[in-house]
Amino acid sequence: MDQPALQFVMETVVDAVNFDGDVTALASRAQEGDQGAVSELTRAFAALAVLTGIRLRPARLSKEDAAQEAILVLMGIVKRGTKRIAAELPGAIEARFDALEKRSDGS
């Protein structure tokens, strides 16, 4: 990964460590469309998403692209209002990568 990408990963870790919010309350607000709650939860779980995306990425996908896809998956989970973000995230990222692989294979 290049330096800006590594810097982004480090910033997401700091955000995760510093998060002290109420996931249940924020998830409810996010489900109702509160963009501040979506943003706060996305920042809180971005490190998990990025690192999971990098670890599960298909070979043809760069680490940066895998991280970006993982963040998009995270945002979708957050907007649904789930309180089980950490539990749902790895499977959802894996499903996104599987779908991308099928699309690139022409399936």
pLDDT digits (tens, 9 = 90+) for 28-86: 999 999 999 999 999 999 999 999 999 999 999 999 999 999 999 999 999 999 999 99
> Are 20 and 57 in contact, with CB atoms under 8 Å apart?
no
pTM: 0.90
Tokens 């979506």, residue located: 38
Query: Residue 102 and residue 107: Cα distance in Å, rounded?
Result: 5
Query: Residue 68 and residue 81: Cα distance in Å, rounded?
Result: 21
CA 23 to chain centre: 15
Residue 71 DSSP SS3? helix
- The pLDDT value recorded for residue 103 is 85
What are the φ/ψ torsions at residue 82 (nearest 5 degrees)? Answer: -70, 150
- The pLDDT value recorded for residue 107 is 58
Alpha carbons within 13 angstroms on the beta-carbon side of residue 43 total: 15
